[in-house]
Structure 1
Amino acid sequence: MYVQINGNRLHIEVLGDRPGVPTIIAHHGAPGLGSLAEPRASFGRLSDAYRVVVFDARGSGASDDNGPFTHAQWVADVDAVREWIGAEQIVVAGGSYGGFIAMEYAIAHSDRVSAMVLRDTSPDNSNEAAARANALASARVTVDLEKFERIMTGTTRDDADLRDCWTEILPLYDHDYDPSLTARRAEATPYHYRTHNYAFSVNQHTYDVKPKLPTVTAPTLITVGRHDWITPVACSETIAELIPSSTLVVFENSGHSPQVEEADLWEATVREFLEEVHATR
């Protein structure tokens, strides 16, 4: 369905829409590249016990491309989606760049968050240097540095160039590399280069929520793949050190996507965490 949210038409799906169950709002990663398909595949598995809301953020997927593409706007959109669905409190979730938005939401709207679930994310932009070093050190592929720099600095030329640059780095993401899977992902990705460019040429320069993470009051589960190249384990360790009521779980046989590469274990981990949270409320 399409819903007008803050002057922008968002593509939204609601899974397990039953009265009386907690609501999860899950934010996808990769602005300009991501879509609701990612959180639908992972959090959608919890729709037997939760109402799960997933959506294409403004400037991504099938949603409209009206800006601004700022963290503040994306956080405001999450809260407007919460209000639209009629939930007083939510479990806010996000993976990768979506984790940035989830953390900023939990900071700005602590009274609206019953719990937070993070996956392979970072509390600041320091992961960029580690990602570059990991990409250059990879024995899997030889990265074209010009394409790498364009996608990581948000200077892609158009949607076709964003696709070309995205295809270049996709082999780095998985623990077990499957070229055919990489090709299918590149084909299935919706490309919005202006959104991506703004996120990585503007937002990333000032992104740092570390000073405010100690104010997060919600119980938080932090999950990360041991072999994540772009938001390494150290990033999640920093988040866990700063959020008072947090639990860190490292998935030993995963890269950037334990929700895919160790799907059953990841799902069980999230279920157990949320059951404990809501059993005490």
Structure 2
Amino acid sequence: MTSSDPLPVETDDGVRLWAATSGSGVPVVLCHGGPGLWDMFGDLADLLADTATLYRWDQRGCGRSERRGPYAWERTLADLEAVRRWAGLERMVLAGHSWGAQLALRYTLDHPGRVGGLVYIAGTGIDPPRTWREAYEENFQERMGVRLGRWAELKERERSAGEEREFCVLRWSADFADDGLAHARRMAEPWFDVNFDCNAAINAEDRLTWGSAELRERCRACPVPVLIVDGEKDIRPRWSVNSLAETLPRVSRVVLENAGHLPWMEKPGEFRHAVRDFLAGCR
């Protein structure tokens, strides 16, 4: 399949999800971050178009997908399974970014026979979020610099639609190694409203379940090869990922210098090289 036209995915409870496919090669299903955001993988898909057939989708209630819940971990995992069936894949590589890396990991642990490899991009490991959250907040404030005042002003009051976009762009600018406003504005094109209900519901589940001994044991038993790709200057402390890297039995890790939370945007050549090498072993 090489068409870039959007195609509908219908879940088992009747919710319609936006999806699209492009490229040619190893089948790779992409899982975007959030929760509550949408697919921002246009540049990444272009980088890998000659290596992989890429399947992109907006998660339930997000972006171009139908804005209807429920919003929960098990529901999102079932939606990812619906995408796999829509794509007609018996096996696939999963590539997830940020929270989407956690989603891709959970699906891999649940269905290792359906996953030929996992590309874990800028995730935060398997320890509880509280272990790294304080360091993240400190790094965020430092990286924001002079933009912090305006962001804080918007944070404390009701925002118009235009101000909501500005608020997110300002926050996302801290996700890049250098002055990230241009990159952050690119992330916001096209713009869709953030689904804060989805974000709150799934993050609440994370706080209850992430970091469990059961999750750690399941990672130790995971037979699937995993590539962890980090940006050295991600404001989410990279030591948070050690909890995962030290647990998986078949893992390699690439840390890209002078890159932040979206390493394919700041270091496209190095990112492409690392992922292409990994995909070559997943055929």
TM class, shorter-length: 0.7 to 0.9
Alpha carbons of structure 1 residues 139 and 276: separation in structure 2 relative to 1, 3 Å: same
Identity rate of aligned residues, in percent?
26
Aligned AA for 1:33?
L
Q: Does 1:213 align with 2:219?
A: yes
Match of 1:97 among 93, 96, 99: 99
Distance 1:161 1:98 in 2: 26
State the 1:214 CA deviation. Answer: 1.4
Distance 2:158 2:28 in 1: 33
Q: Deviations over 1:218-274 (max 9, x none)?
A: 100000000000x32112222211111000110011011111100111011100011
**Residue number in structure 2 paired with 1:27:** 31
Q: Does 1:172 align with 2:174?
A: yes
Aligned residue for 1:218, secondary structure, equals coil
Contact 2:124 2:238 in 1 (8 A): no
Aligned residue for 1:92, secondary structure, equals strand
Superposition TM-score, scaled by structure 2 size: 0.83
Aligned AA for 2:20?
E
Q: Deviations over 1:140-190 (max 9, x none)?
A: 335359959969xxx988966753542342221111214344345446431
Moved over 4 A (4+): 144-151, 155-162
Alpha carbons of structure 1 residues 183 and 108: separation in structure 2 relative to 1, 3 Å: same
**Residue number in structure 2 paired with 1:80:** 82
Q: Which runs of 5+ in 1 are unaligned?
A: none
**Residue number in structure 2 paired with 1:225:** 231
Q: Deviations over 1:58-85 (max 9, x none)?
A: 1111001111221221111111111121
Distance 1:182 1:194 in 2: 19
Q: Which runs of 5+ in 2 are unaligned?
A: 1-6
Q: Deviations over 1:80-135 (max 9, x none)?
A: 11112111111011000110100111111111111000110012423322211212
Q: Does 1:163 align with 2:137?
A: no
Aligned AA for 2:29?
I
Distance 2:208 2:56 in 1: 27
**Residue number in structure 1 paired with 2:274:** 269
Alpha carbons of structure 1 residues 3 and 186: separation in structure 2 relative to 1, 3 Å: closer
The alignment yields a C-alpha RMSD, in angstroms, of 2.8
State the 1:215 CA deviation. Answer: 2.5
Aligned AA for 2:240?
C
Distance 1:217 1:84 in 2: 25
Alpha carbons of structure 1 residues 53 and 183: separation in structure 2 relative to 1, 3 Å: closer
Aligned AA for 1:169?
R
Distance 1:182 1:225 in 2: 16
Match of 1:236 among 228, 237, 241: 241
Match of 2:61 among 59, 80, 89: 59
Alpha carbons of structure 1 residues 59 and 267: separation in structure 2 relative to 1, 3 Å: same
Contact 1:31 1:199 in 2 (8 A): no
Superposition TM-score, scaled by structure 1 size: 0.84
